[in-house]
Amino acid sequence: MFFNKTKPIVGRCETDMTTRLRLKYEPFYHVIESASGVNVTVAGRPMVLMSSNEYLGLSRHPKVVEAAKQALDQWGASACGSRLANGSRAYHIELEEALAAFLGKEACHVTAAGYLACTCSLSSLAQRGDAMIVDPSVHSSLWDGALLSGAKIERFAHNDMDSLAKLLGQLDAKQAKVIVVDGVYSMEGHLAPLPRLVELAGQHEAAVVVDEAHSIGILGRGGRGVCDHFGVTARVDMICGSFSKALAGTGGFVAASRAMIEYLRSNSRQIIFSAAISPAAAASARAALEIMQSEPERHDRLWANHRHLKTILQTSGLDFWDSPTPALPIVIGDKVKCYELWKSLWDQGFFTVMSLPPGVPPGKELLRCAVTALHTTDQLDRFGEALKAAMRQAGVRPKG
């Protein structure tokens, strides 16, 4: 009997209620068997993807695919090492220089994942005794970086600059401070109010870190992001983000002054001990960056589709948190109704993603929905009709 006892950690995994519910209702981890833009196949059934981060539709662009193939032929599949050791390659430097110039920063460092980039932007930037001042809605990668830093974490109300001002006024004026926000919050679709934020940061000598993952390619001149959109790039100390959204690849970046980037290269565990981004990933990101600037019509289609879907959500009486960006959440505020709405849309051939606590605050359960340049007007109209049917089936009443 002694040898049949379940180890506590193993038992916890075997009895976890969140996992049991996920496996019972299967709302996540659906396997897409084939994909062409937003047209996907799941379990042999064609569906329309309504939760894609591929805002500009570049992942299958011929130039992006060709760049990845050429990189594979020239460099192989991997650098097989960290950048600090033997993993630095010419293609890394070329991409970093292109990104730094595009974003208006002195220097840049690219990583194998956007999560790594955002985590490393904070994990060694602040130290014990410093204050890490965080909007509670920032991405989990930033939260992990903040926790790893050991700094004292302070929270201000989401996008509330009066709350931030009050908090800054209560902190020790001599304490080193970092303010952390998302440029575009992927769940809410909200923009960070950067003009007022950088003003407060300047008054209190606080560094500013902005995650541009969901705003690169979307906002600003030629898709330079929310910092450029508000004209505050020079007053933001560090910009981080991911290639897996508008740049339609994998990997991430941190851009800042040369001194800050070199500091991260000396001190960030995520950089020092992580394998370098692959040749194909780096090459495809660079190609996507160039196409993003040379084919502005994709940007135009994205915003036309955004306006169309926004109108559909408004006329349906759904709460989308007044999102001004292509991330358009459908806020239900009830876990059961959220699931039933998701299931009805799924059965009608529309792939969305549920976001439940702790991913969103209790009472703010939602379907994560996003529009891209690849969606057609017909697809959006059919999605609107499917939403109306799903609302009736789930008992979701129009607001107002």
* Residues taking part in catalysis: 186, 214, 245
Count CB-CB contacts under 10 A for residue 285: 29
Length of the chain: 400
- 103: its two tokens: 């974003």
Distance of CA 285 to the CA centre of its chain: 16
Strands 107-111 and 252-256: antiparallel
Question: What's the Cα-to-Cα distance from 273 to each of 19, 149, 270, 326, 369, rounded to whole Å?
Answer: 31, 16, 6, 35, 35
Q: Which amino acid is at 200?
A: L
